[in-house]
Structure 1
Amino acid sequence: MGKYTGIPCAACGRLFEEGDDIVVCPVCGAPHHRECYEKLGHCALEERHALGEAWQPPKGKQGDNPALVICNTCGAQTPADEPFCINCGQRLDLPPRQEQPSPGGSYYIPGVGPIHKNATIGDASMEELAMFVGPNAQFFLPRFQAIHQRKSSFSWNWSAFFLNFFYFFYRKMYLVGGVLMLVSMVTMIPSVVFTNEYMKLFLQSITGQVIPYNEELMIQMSSIQQYIRIGQMALSLTLGMFANKLYLNHAQKVIRKTKEEFGEGSPACLTGIATRGRTNMTMVLLVLCWMIFLYFAISFAITNNIISIL
């Protein structure tokens, strides 16, 4: 970590010394003293992550050793008499690169390019939407723009297609996630009824005992399950096509309420937008635990029913 010697910690501002225990943010590359990073629990520049801003070392600044210079390209220290950086190979006399944020009130989204902070989608600015979405702003912002410019709700989202209601809980769209989970639970009923009757038939075949089961009901439930599978595929396709539009509507609604509560442009407003947006993995794990519990509860009920018959 010698290349950070003489550069200030992103959290406390103290200059790094040789031998310091340094932690580098995996998102933006900002260096911290380990104790500073662990005390904060996150990168000191976390709010800039949503804007796609990468940490840059002080340009042209020397470290504690005057015989070393800091490369304007990668930030590594190189002996002053060397014409090229020993880390990246670039010339040491090159001028500093122009990094984001770019001039004119724009900021840079990796894979998207410069986007003006004052550009809006409805009554939400791009900066506010980036703060709301968080680290995946580079995925959502161009799709939000396309939806707004085309005035079309279609925009494909693979995560929503595969994850169904889990995706909406993850993105804090709890009402949509709850409705979809309820639909999923209701569609399990024919499968439970079919399994219960099938287990009776199965046990009869291996035990030789006469166990009453409803063959007609089994056939009906089997047919219903076929239609349910078709419906589930149609629902997954629908979610994949319109999840981004639903997320944009949700973001605009939350941003609007947050600005009314804290005042547009205030630091508390931006913090509130980031807090109420982003993601919630804890909720996903809770929902997953509930679904696992439900599965075992149903299995236990079916087993008890079969045992009572025997």
Structure 2
Amino acid sequence: MMVCTSCGVERSTEAALVCQQCGNAHFQANYKSGVMGGTLHADSVPYEHGEQLALFVGEKKKKYYFKKWDKEADKRKLTWNWAAYFLSIFWFGYRKMYKHIAIILSIVVALDIVTLLLDIGNLAVNRGIAFGGAAVIGIMANSLYKKHAEKKISEINATYSNKEQQHMALKKAGGTSWGGVGIALLAFIGYLGVFFVLATAAGRL
């Protein structure tokens, strides 16, 4: 039987990252994760990967994300992220996931081209695309963030052999950034410029 090291309550599963009773984060040697990819029920990884994941996420939100990832592992389904749903690319910027911003805006531009060429860009269609896209982001965000964190951890471990250097690099690469929000804003302004050009060329402005 595995118990929480903080409150003593029996853990729901051996792979649980967070105590469901007190919220204490577990970094046991049996913490299971696909740090190189996969799900939380993949092969077990050493102690330091759980600690590294916590360092990457940041002290303030590690319990929130560990609990979400626990649910995804136990129920084998995705969880919901309200911040990502409402803030979209700005949430990705805040979490320093810049490649995802580029992918999302590229998809949006592609959809704009299709709707402009087919002349179906009315209000109802635009709203449907917007809400549908936001819902997909809300559903996928936690899983995408975990994969992003795992990839960064793998890259940093391959670059640095010293544990202190690894921890410093993890804190720098992870956490949050208001500068990242600014990058997302600039990317969005750039998208508006592209849309203006496309809409003008299609005679929609």
Q: TM-score, normalised by structure 1?
A: 0.46
Specify whether residues 167 and 114 from structure 1 end up closer, same or farther in structure 2 by C-alpha distance, changes over 3 A only: closer
Consecutive unaligned residues in structure 1, runs of 5 or more = 1-100, 194-216, 306-310
Q: CA deviation at 1:257?
A: 1.6
Q: Name the stretch that deviates more: 289-298 or 121-130.
A: 289-298
- Equivalent residue for 2:11? none
- Equivalent residue for 2:12? none
- Equivalent residue for 1:116? 27
Q: CA deviation at 1:180?
A: 0.7
Greater RCO (Cα-Cα under 8 Å, separation 6 or more) = 2
The aligned runs of 1:58-69 (5 Å cut-off) are none
Matched, 1:283 2:180: yes
Instruction: Select the residue among 144, 148, 153 that pairs with 1:246.
Output: 144
Number of matched residues? 172
Specify whether residues 295 and 249 from structure 1 end up closer, same or farther in structure 2 by C-alpha distance, changes over 3 A only: closer
Equivalents in 1 of 2:119, 2:109: separation in Å? Answer: 19
Q: Secondary structure at the match of 2:80?
A: coil
The aligned runs of 1:69-148 (5 Å cut-off) are 112-118=23-29, 119-123=31-35, 125-134=49-58, 135-148=60-73
Specify whether residues 268 and 186 from structure 1 end up closer, same or farther in structure 2 by C-alpha distance, changes over 3 A only: same
Matched, 1:175 2:99: yes
Task: Map Cα deviations across residues 216-269 of structure 1 (whole Å, 9 max, x no partner).
Answer: x9x94554x532321221121111112101111111111112112213x71111
* One-letter amino acid of the counterpart of residue 145, structure 1: D
Structure number, greater radius of gyration: 1
Alpha-carbon contact 1:169-1:283 (below 8 Å) kept = yes
Task: Map Cα deviations across residues 105-160 of structure 1 (whole Å, 9 max, x no partner).
Answer: xx9989512523432422463211110101211211111222233333x1100011
RMSD over aligned CA atoms reads 3.6
Alpha-carbon contact 2:79-2:142 (below 8 Å) kept = yes
Specify whether residues 253 and 190 from structure 1 end up closer, same or farther in structure 2 by C-alpha distance, changes over 3 A only: closer
Equivalents in 2 of 1:246, 1:290: separation in Å? Answer: 20
Q: TM-score, normalised by structure 2?
A: 0.67
Instruction: Select the residue among 128, 153, 167 that pairs with 1:270.
Output: 167
Matched, 1:258 2:169: no
More strand by share: 1
User: Deviation above 6 Å: which 4+ runs of structure 1?
Assistant: 107-110
- Equivalent residue for 1:155? 79
